[in-house]
A and B are shown apart, each in its own frame.
Chain A
């Protein structure tokens, strides 16, 4: 089995589905790290609030612990087995999970901690309905029968617990499905045999892989297959706010949403091989651009959130791809630039409260680096990454306008970019320190610490004076600071504020490593860039996962262990920088 198909890290799910199956061993779920969940395999739907706490049914063969089962995880199906007993799981439809196998005993699905109003009832030998706030499921049996243990607690208006037992038929065959529905269950739809659906699903995945980059170095073939699976299986569509677009969620563990900078990293992975899907990831959010130009912080099927923003990194990513020789169609560039112009103007019009021409984040969340040390004194900070991204955006706008023959507009954006560069360096570069600093809007003081965010301006490359460039390169490559065996730490590992599992106060994050690598290339330091990129690729191979972030010193995955931007960056780096060698 491909080692990246680790069910503890990657959820078993399918394109378009909100239903997942996951394995938990000594693990937490969601944002509360102190809240360990009971070990086991779980059925886990990701809609709404359930994505954080909704490990619903723990699965096992009767009389055994859940983790007594072993698993075999393929894109098209999951096999759970223990001795002679086995059950395979696949998706005949995106809202139907089918379980099929043989066993000498019942297969159990146990939901222990019901919330108010959670109920289940057995309709007959073959049907049981589950209404677990906020979704409903029908469990229906093709071979065997279902029993339900769900004592009613009238005081709490819920079942005390919901335990389902599916017994095999007289030949030991088990075959049942769980179908998710909203109001009324409209009857069985998966009338064909299990294998047929498994084959169809395999074909569907292979078709997707045709539009996914192939590993240039065979050492990464397994990892690429896993990255393809992560992208494909995290797609959701025809669902609430997503409409018809195929949106790739950050993860189907619990970060089940599309955020306004994570989305751009899909371009790195897919722009060359599946341009439509790649740009759809931008449009998923552009669809919700407001009159002011602002995009939602994130959206999912049932909500678009405007509480915060995310940094405007699209320009940097597209310029990098174009620099690398990737062909981008005029149609997509035009559409993207139209939205990007308004995004750029938004920052100057609405996010410069002290009117110094240097826009600010108004909360760490706006920068994507939620709790980075630069926000330790106040939330509204003129972090230097923001101007760097905006300059890249303006340069992209200028280059695209030139490409479309709009010379005047091209010059206009070039001039804006030049002006901003000058103002930005005067404002944010502390010549005495020889470093960029993140000033608080208004007071212009800055917090202690040594955050990677202050080195993001390296992406500007030759736009910067050689002396500044050298300082940035030197800072990034200084041993024992940001550069570790595995990439670039978000806070210097020598900083007093460094912590190993602290979100943006130490761990390695894919977007920052991407910026460092791209910046080094833009400064003409190709070898250093290759070196850093390889460390990151090694880290993913070593950790066996593409996590939300990784421990800067050990490389191990942290938080949500299957995360789109890490996979995107891995694929991009591997095919650009690691085409030779053993991997």
Chain B
């Protein structure tokens, strides 16, 4: 593997682990864009509120200035002058530091200390940490520690500085081990090189399964995408009963409903077991109403919101690529029909047969402009997703031999599409609109959410389909050199770096691409896919992207962005270039 990554975007971690190292460079950390941190290298733990916290700053001498890094698969090398520290992650709860340097420091500053944080000097080779919410031990295999952590008057240390010192030969080798209750007392007896080789081999085995026919120009980014997804796995851990691909190991450390479907589609053909876990994580949490959690993490299953039911459309796409076995189809039939019932029974408060979101967060496009006048909006993407869920159910039932049920779903699909057109399509303006539930008023703005019905392709009347294609194909509106903007660049409500009020997002770009393809506009579909993949190859897999510059925005390593890269590359840019052409 001849790969290196950008530590500012993608944290250094490993499969299963909740420990990560990140580099801050003129940037914020977390959701608060004003939360600027001093530049440097930080270790953080992805538990509970700790995920917003950078626990320990890593340095040779307390100064980040002059440090550099090289991030290769499973090996992070930090340097400053002649000092070198190599870091690997031998297991899901350890980081190992092996270096040649006069000292190395882990520092939790006074402002990062929260009440009850304590460090205890056990002996020169063992420091115990209880840094709410987790505990850890730092133990030396070579070299020793000094601890500078004066006890304060708030039942906490004032700050914690662990200083590792080399042995007589100038080397140090120590391990940070995080645990929930107690340190087992078992120290690593393998060499750093062995640990490293083992982890690199694990990733190599994962990458081995990648498709081999991707065009060479996307090869490197593809490998990076696989690395990001692999290293974003956490668990099983507490409430997370299966290994879950975190949306990110920066700070969005949970699995969001809907985002999981991108994992499923991206990985099912190559890594079916891991992919299916991402589906089952949510199926298992479906309640009697058919609703699913908003997100799942090791410490919480959140029900504050729901996410749009894109399962059907993603599974239909998957079935274009591969057969799904019967056991899984049965699960899909059960779960998806219940999910459809949730939306039709519990999310249609004005009883007009058109389901609604109760908050922008329900639509995954949190703050997009259609929610400017109120939280309850019957945006047309939702009915589109539901229609495709019904179609998916029809296909699945057909495959399983439930013919009558299949027909019924098909009937419901077309009924819903008709109703949606009558309800959401404004013939005068030649576009879909997003009316508020009840009042049916429409907010100002020009949001891509109204063009998501493109997914229905030829199921729509020609005239309507044309208006959607024209809208998406218009350069400088949603279509940009880098992908599909979430709000028209010409809209008064467009802003740079404003989440769903302009930025390019993977799901909507992806939906535009496959919608165009389904509408017989393969060339345009491929053109947009190419623009997006080229932009991602340059920027990395950020949460979203600036539509004017193509630069990444917000969280630097989001799973659905990497997933979308893999899906599009596989489907449109294999060397044979035969897909859908």
Contact = CB atoms under 8 A, between A and B. Distances in A.
Nearest to A380: B120
Interface in A53-102: none
A31 to B, nearest CB: 9
Interface in B126-146: 128, 130, 132-135
> In the complex, which of the residues A127, A152, A183, A380 has the most CB atoms of chain B within 10 Å of its own CB atom?
A183
Interface of A: 117, 119, 121, 123, 127, 129, 131, 133-136, 152, 154, 157, 159, 182-186, 290, 292, 294, 302-303, 305-308, 350, 353, 362-365, 370-371, 375-380
Interface in B332-386: 342, 345-347, 349-350, 358-361, 366-367, 371-376
Given A183-B346, A306-B180, A380-B120, A152 B287 contact: no
Contacts of B290: 184
A528 B129 CA distance: 44
Interface in B294-340: 299-300, 302-306
B342 A183 contact: yes
A294 B181 contact: yes
B374 A307 contact: no
B225 interface: no
B116 A157 contact: no
Contacts of A123: 349-350, 438
A117 B345 CA distance: 23
A420 B500 CA distance: 65
> In the complex, which of the residues A123, A184, A365, A380 has the most CB atoms of chain B within 10 Å of its own CB atom?
A184
A189 to B, nearest CB: 13
6 contacts: A131-B358, A131-B359, A152-B374, A186-B289, A303-B299, A307-B135
B130 A307 contact: yes
B116 A292 contact: no
A134 B303 contact: yes
B122 interface: yes
A133 B300 CA distance: 13
A381 to B, nearest CB: 11
Given A121-B358, A307-B130, A152 B373 contact: yes
Given A152-B375, A375-B155, A379-B151, A290 B182 contact: yes
Contacts of A363: 116, 118, 130, 155
A362 to B, nearest CB: 7
Given A119-B359, A307-B135, A370 B303 contact: no
A235 to B, nearest CB: 23
A121 B374 contact: yes
B291 interface: yes
Nearest to B302: A134
Given A183-B289, A306-B135, A133 B303 contact: no
B375 A182 contact: no
Interface residues of B, number: 50
Q: Pick the 4 closest A-B CB pairs, nearest first.
A: A183-B291, A184-B346, A184-B289, A154-B372
B525 to A, nearest CB: 32
A365 B154 CA distance: 12
A310 B233 CA distance: 34
B266 to A, nearest CB: 27
Given A123-B438, A294-B182, A306-B181, 11 more contacts: A117-B304, A117-B361, A123-B350, A154-B371, A183-B291, A183-B342, A184-B342, A185-B346, A362-B118, A363-B116, A370-B155
B522 to A, nearest CB: 38
A238 to B, nearest CB: 14
A290 B130 CA distance: 18
Contacts of A292: 181-182
Contacts of B374: 121, 152
B304 A133 contact: yes
> In the complex, which of the residues A131, A136, A302, A370 has the most CB atoms of chain B within 10 Å of its own CB atom?
A131
A362 B361 contact: no
Contacts of B180: 306
Contacts of B305: 117, 131
A319 B345 CA distance: 57
A302 B300 contact: yes
A131 B358 CA distance: 9
Contact of A157 (B118, B183, B359): B359
A183 B366 contact: no
A371 B151 CA distance: 13
Interface of B: 116, 118, 120, 122, 128, 130, 132-135, 151, 153, 155, 180-183, 287-292, 299-300, 302-306, 342, 345-347, 349-350, 358-361, 366-367, 371-376, 437-438
A184 B287 CA distance: 9
A123 B372 CA distance: 19
Nearest to A154: B372
> In the complex, which of the residues B151, B182, B302, B372 has the most CB atoms of chain A within 10 Å of its own CB atom?
B182
A183 B306 contact: yes
A371 B155 CA distance: 7
A157 B366 contact: yes
A538 B551 CA distance: 70
Nearest to B291: A183
A364 B155 contact: yes
A379 B120 contact: yes
A152 B377 CA distance: 13
Contacts of A362: 118, 120, 128, 130
Given A182-B287, A183-B289, A117 B359 contact: yes
> In the complex, which of the residues B183, B358, B373 has the most CB atoms of chain A within 10 Å of its own CB atom?
B358
A123 B134 CA distance: 44
A296 to B, nearest CB: 8
Given A119-B359, A292-B182, A353 B347 contact: no
Nearest to B343: A184
Contact of B358 (A119, A290, A365, A370): A119
A131 B303 CA distance: 10
B370 to A, nearest CB: 10
A365 B287 contact: no
Contacts of B438: 123
A537 B132 CA distance: 37
A121 B436 CA distance: 11
Contact of A307 (B132, B288, B342, B346): B132
A127 B133 CA distance: 40
A290 B438 CA distance: 53
A131 B305 CA distance: 9
A185 B349 CA distance: 11
A186 B349 CA distance: 12
Contacts of B347: 184
Contacts of A133: 304
A353 B122 contact: yes
Nearest to B300: A302
Contacts of B181: 290, 292, 294, 306
Nearest to A363: B118
Contacts of A157: 359-361, 366-367, 371
A177 to B, nearest CB: 17
Contacts of B130: 307-308, 362-363
Contact of B303 (A183, A303, A305): A183
B549 to A, nearest CB: 24
A361 B577 CA distance: 67
Contacts of B135: 306-307
Contacts of A290: 181-182
A539 to B, nearest CB: 27
A370 B156 CA distance: 11
Nearest to B293: A183
A117 B342 CA distance: 22
Contacts of A185: 346
Contacts of B120: 353, 362, 379-380
A154 B367 contact: yes
A183 B300 contact: no
A448 B128 CA distance: 25
A202 to B, nearest CB: 30
A350 B182 contact: yes
A294 B184 CA distance: 12
A159 B359 CA distance: 11
